[in-house]
Structure 1
Amino acid sequence: MDPFSSSSHNLILSLVLLLFITFRGVSGTTFTFVNRCDYTVWPGILANANSPRLDSTGFELPKQTARTFQAPTGWSGRFWARTGCSFDGSGSGSCTTGDCGSGQVECNGAGAAPPATLAEFTLGTGGQDFYDVSLVDGYNLPVFVEGTGGSGQCASTGCSTDLNRMCPSELRVGDGDACKSACEAFGPRVLL
């Protein structure tokens, strides 16, 4: 995980999905999701145990748009983007990648089905915030996090390259919509 001081910061999640984070110290952190993809994505949000739910657990984010959420100090959880979603007028449906299995636009406490690129956050622990972009559950699209505000070294992190183009055939999902992790594809291995 990449450490950031907890003073006052903002986070931006850009799909390629860009996620901007603005750290604000006592009042919490502002997350701004920016969709720079050429298509609509449906971000999912999952708070960790003992963290409050944010204003939404899933939403539609058309291309070249942004949406902002406030998270309190001490919040921890993850964000990801679902792709290839089809929802009817009542909000019922599913997604090709990153589906949370709720059958709705809102994930309602359910996490992403692999493969999905994850952005993980822990805010205000020991006076610092931590975040990373993880491919442990595979990859479905570029996600990049930029921090602003606060004090300390707030480096950007993530992957701005489409890794699906380089995904080996044995890890590829569908028509190259996503790339499984090796553990997901082949199961865990113990090397002695």
Structure 2
Amino acid sequence: MANPYTTFLNLSFVFIVIASAPELCGGNKTFTIVNYCKETIWPGMTHSENFTNGGFTLKPGQSAVYTAPSGWNGRIWARTGCNFDKNGSGKCQTGGCGTDINCTVPGSPPATIAEFTLGDPDYYDVSLVDGFNLPIAVKAVNGSGNCSTAGCDGDLRQNCPSQLAAKEDGKVVACRSACDVFNTDEYCCRGMYGNPVTCLPSNYSKSFKQVCPAAYSFAYDDPTSILTCKDADFVVTFCGSRNQTVCSSRDKQLPCNGSKAYKALPQRWWVLMLPLAFMFNSWITS
């Protein structure tokens, strides 16, 4: 018969290893997309070479999960003010990608866009080059490296220059880019302005950068906007904050409001060890 004390130690060791084991991740990446806005949105998600079947509905407080294969490159953004019929046909005020709830073409400006190039490492950013319609934050979860949070906490619709304001029924629903409005080489960084030496921030892009310092404000805003991380999953939040505590879908067994219960777990180890203690006691007395 095995020594009960030795058995107890072995079981305790197994429990500790299981309780502290890191999550095992494969080559796929998990994107958790969360709607913190007060209104329903219709996220679009498109591969850089395939613009079909990437659309769905998210009501306030809802989230959705997408698993991307290794090497996936693409964009995630929100469509707003959409009206789709029972067959999924309709149109949106901003960010539209065809006349179907599933995107058939790239998203149309103005729209705030989260961009990803997955590899080793992963590159990601939030872009205002095509304008702004909703705040977006992109957080890398369980990765290594810089892994900063990209995005925009402020709402540019409240500070949009009058020349760039996109309105519906007198309400500013988005802020257009200077390139979209004026269509000049200087604002669009093309022609003689198609390089980082000659394409410089404009007064319009500077106003974007002031509100959203961790987002692309114009085409060559690379140094302060593009981020990298290795082996991470991503959480994309609409109308959230870059400083919010968020969990990926792989962490769904934990609270996502600061994970207080998880943080208290090491202080309550004795509660989890009680069943083993009772088991040990029964072996001693039997």
TM-score (norm 2): 0.54
**Alignment-derived partner of residue 115 in structure 2:** 120
Distance in 1 (CA, whole Å) between partners of 2:162 and 2:172 is: 9
Q: Which amino acid aligns with 1:27?
A: G
Tell me the matched-pair count. 163
**Alignment-derived partner of residue 152 in structure 1:** 145
**Alignment-derived partner of residue 56 in structure 2:** 59
Distance in 2 (CA, whole Å) between partners of 1:189 and 1:128 is: 33
**Alignment-derived partner of residue 39 in structure 2:** 39
Distance in 2 (CA, whole Å) between partners of 1:100 and 1:123 is: 23
Kindly tell me: are residues 180 and 24 of structure 1, through their superposed partners in 2, closer, same or farther at Cα, counting changes over 3 Å? farther
TM-score (norm 1): 0.80
Q: Map Cα deviations across residues 18-65 of structure 1 (whole Å, 9 max, x no partner).
A: xxxxx976421100000000000000011012x7x89x5000000011
3-state SS of the aligned residue for 1:98? coil
* Residues 80 and 116 in structure 1, CA contact (< 8 A), matched pair in contact too: yes
Post-superposition shift, 1:151? 1.7
1:185 aligns with 2:171: no
Distance in 2 (CA, whole Å) between partners of 1:99 and 1:24 is: 37
Greater CA deviation, 161-170 or 145-154? 145-154
1:139 aligns with 2:129: no
Kindly tell me: are residues 48 and 24 of structure 1, through their superposed partners in 2, closer, same or farther at Cα, counting changes over 3 Å? farther
Identity of aligned residues (%): 47
3-state SS of the aligned residue for 2:140? strand
Larger relative CO (CA 8 A, sep 6+): 1 or 2? 1
Give the alignment's Cα RMSD to 1 decimal.
Answer: 2.0
- 2:81 is aligned, of 76, 80, 84, to 84
3-state SS of the aligned residue for 1:45? strand
Distance in 1 (CA, whole Å) between partners of 2:109 and 2:96 is: 8
3-state SS of the aligned residue for 1:32? strand
Structure 1 alignment gaps of length 5 or more: 1-22
* Higher share in helix: 2
**Alignment-derived partner of residue 6 in structure 1:** none
Q: Which amino acid aligns with 1:179?
A: C
1:70 aligns with 2:63: no
Distance in 2 (CA, whole Å) between partners of 1:128 and 1:27 is: 12
Q: Which amino acid aligns with 2:155?
A: D
Distance in 2 (CA, whole Å) between partners of 1:134 and 1:178 is: 14
Post-superposition shift, 1:150? 2.3
Distance in 1 (CA, whole Å) between partners of 2:185 and 2:89 is: 38
Distance in 1 (CA, whole Å) between partners of 2:179 and 2:140 is: 31
Distance in 2 (CA, whole Å) between partners of 1:94 and 1:27 is: 36
Distance in 1 (CA, whole Å) between partners of 2:115 and 2:72 is: 11
Kindly tell me: are residues 24 and 107 of structure 1, through their superposed partners in 2, closer, same or farther at Cα, counting changes over 3 Å? farther
Q: Which amino acid aligns with 1:134?
A: S
